[in-house]
Every structure is written in C-alpha cells, then in structure tokens.
Amino acid sequence: MTLDISIVPSAHPRSAAEVAEILANPGFGIHFTDHMFTVEWTPEKGWHDARITAYGPLTLDPATAVLHYAQEIFEGMKAYRHDDGSVWTFRPEENAQRMVRSSHRLALPVLEADDFVQAVDALVTVDERWVAEPGTEKSLYIRPFMIASEAFLGVRPAQHVTFMVIASPAGAYFKGGIKPLTLWLTEEYTRAGRGGMGAAKTGGNYASSLVAQQEAIDQGCDQVVFLDAAEGRYVEELGGMNMYFVYADGHIVTPETGTILEGITRSAIIDLAEKSGHQVEERKISIDEWRDGVSSGEITEVFACGTAAVVTPVGTLKWAGGEVGGSTEAGALTMQIRQSLVDIQYGRADDTFGWMHKVL
C-alpha cells in the first residue's frame, strides 16, 4: 500500500435508475463506471500523482508514443459480489505479476504488485454500486492498462508512462450464453513467434489477431485458433482464450506455455481438475492429434477459458476444406469445471485454494 491516492468524485455520477438499467443487461465492454484510476511514471519521480477521478476521455498529444509504437500492456480481471453483499476479486496478485512480466517485455516500468492491487481495490471501492447483485453470474470486468504517454517520435522506451484502471459491468462474453463455439483454424496467420510477445498481454497481439478473427467470422465461426509460428503444427490458443482437451480416459491436456498467454483461468483449471482426480498434461498438442482425436472419439470434450469467457465449450473445428466435431451440447467435465470455478468466484463454494481477495 504505497500509493497515495487522491479521490475527486465525479460531479455527474449516473443515477441509481441508470445504473440499474445498465446492470440489467450489461453486455460486455460497452458501459463504464463513473470513475477511473490514473497514476503517472517518470524516471525522476517514479510512480506519482495517483488519483481517482470522473471517467472521461483522455487528452493526448498526437505524438504520444503509444499511438505510434504500441508500447502498451493490459490486464483483464473481474470483481464478484457474494450473497452477503461483499465484493471480491479473483487472484489479483496473479494479474499484477503477469503485468510485471509484460512490462519487462515491453520495456515499461514495473508497477509493484501491491500497488496494482491497491489501485484496483480503490477503484472497485469507489464504484462498488456497479458490481451486480449475486445470483446472475454478472460481474464487474476490470481493465488495468499501462501506456507510453511521452510525446516523442524517437523509437526508445518512453520516459513518461501512465497506468490506468477502468471498469465495465459484464454479462456473458458470448451472446447467446453457454453454447458450444465453432472455431476457425487459421493456417495463414500466427500470433507469436519465438522471442516475440506471445506471452505478454499487449495490444499488438490483439491487433495482429483481428484479421484472422475476421476471417473466422466470414467463415461463419465464432473464434480463431492459432497454431505455432515455427512449424504451423501445434495448437496455441484463441485470440482471447486458452484451450483444453478432455480425453476418453479422463485425463486432460492444455498447450504448454512459452508463446501463449499464461492464463490465470488456465492455471486455476489445472488445480481444479487435479483436485477432482483428473490428470493434467501441459504439453504440445498437434492439430492432427486434435482432428484425429475428435474423429476417433479419443478426445471427448474441447473447451476454451479466460476471464471474459470463463469456461466455454467448443463444438466444432473448421478449416479450409473440412471440419470435425459438430457437438451442440456442452461436455459434462467442461460444465463441471465451469461450475466449480464460478462457485468459488461467487462465494458459493469454499475457497480451498485461497484464490479470492476481499475488496470490501
């Protein structure tokens, strides 16, 4: 707790009726709370001028480095309300530490994990009324991000950096609730190469995924699957989710880390699955193993996971010239893992792993 945060409440907060109307049907990433958190960094002063102010547009010099060279990192996490009215986040230190790893890759300054958590807690506390009532699986999606805010066109790490936190009430990420996704295999585009930024949560990775994601939509699919850049053979992840494969003998496989985002949901699922007696392998899985396994029945369920999407079943894999799967029902283990996870997040099950962090 080292940040000295000043709070200037919004002069025009949304009315209780407006908040209620938004929370009734929040969608994803459309509406924002009344406030935002900001702190600045320079080499001379370190992190300074921490403040919570009214949510609103930023004024940026057109030469601001992030607009040109994409020196930027972000996080995604959620706050959940429990039945007793308390508000909790899920493994916030993991997000904080992942942001530290991302900051090393993007040559951005380190914001200490304690300060990250303090900033998130402070914003959630001020905008507490935006965390939906329990029982609905709604939550408050929290988006911390760090940008190169120095106005300078030379290519070098920025000497003025800004870290902010904004928050947005969230319902289901996919319209239509939990129904199996159809994935599109891109054989043209890759997401991350050796020595690249694949493990960092940085805007450039998402920018580079958009053309492939658009191709998926054009093919009538929901999301795109990326393969490794070196051989075009091994499954990596989706544009915003990690992947899991369930085998007929009960063991499950998830692609190993290295060039993929080290998902916090992914890591929680390893613990949940192992606790319920399923062996988990983190290893390379080839696209042929996926296709053949689904065709032969050796792979019985496929699912994707992430903060925004939670745990989402995958029904069909399509590629240029073929498809496998076709299941329209979510798999039993997929739904069991999903339920165990959300029960912990919403305080309906014991937090045996110590994942939940009480905000207020």
Number of amino acids touching ligand PLP (CB under 6 A): 12
**Residue 142 found at the interface with ligand COI (CB under 6 A):** no
Using the structure block, give the residue that is written with the tokens 């609905």. Answer: 136
CA 337 to chain CA centroid, Å, is 18
Residue 349 DSSP code: S
Query: Is residue 357 a contact residue for ligand PLP (CB under 6 A)?
Result: no
241 interacts with ligand PLP by CB under 6 A: yes
Binds ligand PLP (CB under 6 A): choice among 307, 334, 340, 345 = 307
Residue 237 binding target from ligand PLP, ligand COI, none, CB below 5 to 8 Å by type: ligand PLP
Binding-site partner at residue 190 among ligand PLP, ligand COI, none, CB < 5 to 8 Å by type = none
Phi, psi of 15 (to 5 degrees): -70, 160
Q: Tell me the site size for ligand COI, rule CB under 6 A.
A: 5
Query: What is the distance between the alpha carbons of residues 60 and 47, in angstroms, rounded to a whole number?
Result: 19
Q: Which of 192, 195, 194 is nearest to 212 (CA)?
A: 192
Least gap, CB of 286 to ligand PLP (angstroms): 19
DSSP for 62-100 reads: TTBHHHHH--EEE--EEEEE-TTS-EEEESHHHHHHHHH
Letters for 47-86 (x = contact with ligand COI by CB under 6 A, - = none) are -----------------------------x----------
Interface with ligand PLP includes 27 (CB under 6 A)? no
Distances from the Cα of 356 to the Cα of 234, 249, 309, 314, 350, angstroms: 34, 32, 19, 28, 10
Give the type of residue at 346.
Answer: Y
From residue 303 to residue 322, the character string flagging contacts with ligand COI as x (rule: CB under 6 A) and all else as - is ---xxx--------------
Reference 185, options 207, 215, 229, 230; nearest CA is 215
Tell which positions 53-82 bind ligand PLP, by CB under 6 A: 76
Binding site for ligand PLP (CB under 6 A): 76, 237, 240-242, 261, 263-266, 306-307
Binding site for ligand COI (CB under 6 A): 76, 240, 306-308
